[in-house]
Amino acid sequence: MSEETTGLGPDGAAFLAARLGAVAQPALAVFDLDNTLFDTRPRTLSAARDFDAARGTRWFEALTLPDVRRDGLTTARALAPPPLPDDVIEAFDLAWRAAFWDARRFALDAPIAAVLAWVERAREAGVGVRFLTGRTAPYHEVSVRQLHEAGLGWVAASDVVCKPDLSRRTAPFKAEVLRELAAEAAIACYVSEGRRDIGHIQRELPGVACVLVGCSFEDPARDPVAAGTPLLPPVF
């Protein structure tokens, strides 16, 4: 399979519109959650503010939402000038892990309206919807609630699939679930900002149509996807 590293692809919106209108029934549209339907950067920003407040420091005083990276470690390393001391980076990484994965902070996530709209478009086209996330089982309930609060009150608990635990690698887990879903219905699309997940799915399940959501977190050189992968405009 050929791969690309620029992140450029055909118009994802046009692809989705055509795909949802033409896919054989029964069909399912599958969506990722973090940084696809929900912007998780506010969780990291909150963790940084709390880190300074707990220590009486100002290391993250200048941090703004556009400065936030995928996780605490990359956010701290990217904060410059001047670079943060190594011991501060290490301490923040530990604090971030606890804060970011505190289910109470999921309420800080910002719904991404442009992608949520495609969830409703799929329903309007008569296509079923599932949500497939790398979040683990303890976050299943809060994930369902988060979708309800974003306006998707029809989402049932069975519509959201989480990893059982952290022992499962996310990309292979998602490919396995998609393979199981494909045995029940045609997969109209899998929509995610995760290049690593999409690249793995494209290699393992070439029949699944993947749509990449543009995201500044992602590194095209590190995690290439197939050439011609449809691309939705960057969400941030």
DSSP 34: B
- Model pLDDT, residue 224: 92
DSSP 26: S
Write out pLDDT tens, residues 156-180: 999 999 999 999 999 999 999 999 9
Q: Are residues 94 and 118 in the same domain?
A: no
Contact by Cβ (8 Å): 27, 128: yes
- Model pLDDT, residue 219: 83
The pair of structure tokens assigned to 174 is: 């998602």
Q: Are residues 225 and 152 in the same domain?
A: yes
- Model pLDDT, residue 3: 44
Q: Are residues 87 and 196 in the same domain?
A: no
Q: Are residues 92 and 26 in the same domain?
A: no
pLDDT mean across residues, the chain: 95
Q: Are residues 127 and 160 in the same domain?
A: yes
Question: What total number of domains does the chain contain?
Answer: 2
DSSP 213: E
Whether pLDDT at 9 is above 80? no
Q: pLDDT grade, residue 80 (50/70/90)?
A: confident
Beta strands in the chain (DSSP E): 3-4, 27-31, 38-39, 110-111, 128-136, 160-163, 186-192, 210-213, 225-226, 231-232
Domain edge (last residue) among 107, 126, 153: 107
Whether pLDDT at 5 is above 60? no
Q: Are residues 16 and 122 in the same domain?
A: yes
Around 37, how many Cα atoms within 13 Å sit in the side-chain half-sphere?
26
In whole angstroms, give the CA distance from residue 231 to residue 16.
10
Q: Are residues 26 and 71 in the same domain?
A: no
Domain edge (last residue) among 75, 91, 107: 107
Q: Are residues 23 and 132 in the same domain?
A: yes
Q: Are residues 181 and 93 in the same domain?
A: no
- The CATH number of the domain holding residue 22 is 3.40.50.1000
Domain edge (last residue) among 60, 79, 107: 107
Query: What pTM, to 2 d.p., does this model score?
Result: 0.94
Q: Give me the domain span that covers residue 20.
A: 3-39+110-232
- Model pLDDT, residue 8: 55
- Model pLDDT, residue 66: 95
- Model pLDDT, residue 218: 84
Contact by Cβ (8 Å): 90, 23: no
Would you tell me how many other CB atoms lie within 10 Å of the CB of residue 154?
11
Contact by Cβ (8 Å): 116, 150: yes
